[in-house]
Chain A
Amino acid sequence: AQRVTQPEKLLSVFKGAPVELKCNYSYSGSPELFWYVQYSRQRLQLLLRHISRESIKGFTADLNKGETSFHLKKPFAQEEDSAMYYCALNTDKLIFGTGTRLQVFP
């Protein structure tokens, strides 16, 4: 079955702490994965895609096919990172995980 799992509904950290938002997927084909972010009262927007292998707003994500994971990481969280984060898998349509709310306290 094609599935995206984000095990944490809520992740709370203090400013400056490292952050890791977990994402695991189940897919028989070659995966294409994305992270989308939704800031408060804003629309959903693409944060990064696995193929770009770039850092966006200090976030990185590495595709680990052996562990079927695509965890989102940032070494030092900022208050403005507080948002809802969704991992998504492309199966010719996007399948979204249930999302993780990141709260960064001052």
Chain B
Amino acid sequence: NAGVTQTPKFRVLKTGQSMTLLCAQDMNHEYMYWYRQDPGMGLRLIHYSVGEGTTAKGEVPDGYNVSRLKKQNFLLGLESAAPSQTSVYFCASSYEEISSYNEQFFGPGTRLTVL
């Protein structure tokens, strides 16, 4: 069981370039999430999905798009990268909706720098 994996681990972009971050989970989880982690701001939810074919906005969705075409994959896209999107991106998944009895499992993170 690999758990939650993220590709790539690191990436440097120039302003205006586009890229896609891939999150994959092999735990048959319904729910998947994308967060960004910035110094002094903790983790903030970008987008999430409650099942294959569904997506929803989180706290900071602007500048990002997502797709969940397959249950095991959750893609995060940056159409036109900006320096403000320099961050560490974490993907997470859970079997059901968050509760005291249900845990979120996190990926190792992707460090993105936008110049």
Contact = CB atoms under 8 A, between A and B. Distances in A.
A26 interface: no
Contacts, number: 48
Interface residues of A, number: 21
A45 B42 contact: no
Q: Identify which of B58, B98, B107 gathers the most chain A CB atoms within 10 Å of its CB.
A: B98
Which secondary structure characterizes the binding site on chain A? Answer: loop
Interface of A: 6, 9, 32, 42-46, 49-52, 86, 90, 92-94, 96-99
Interface of B: 4, 33, 40-45, 48, 58, 90, 92, 97-101, 103-104, 106-109
B108 A43 contact: yes
Contacts of B58: 93
Contact of B43 (A46, A52, A92, A96): A96
29 contacts: A6-B42, A32-B99, A32-B100, A42-B108, A43-B4, A43-B107, A43-B108, A43-B109, A44-B90, A44-B92, A44-B106, A49-B100, A50-B100, A51-B101, A86-B43, A90-B99, A92-B98, A93-B45, A93-B48, A93-B58, A93-B98, A94-B45, A94-B98, A94-B104, A96-B43, A97-B42, A98-B40, A98-B41, A98-B42
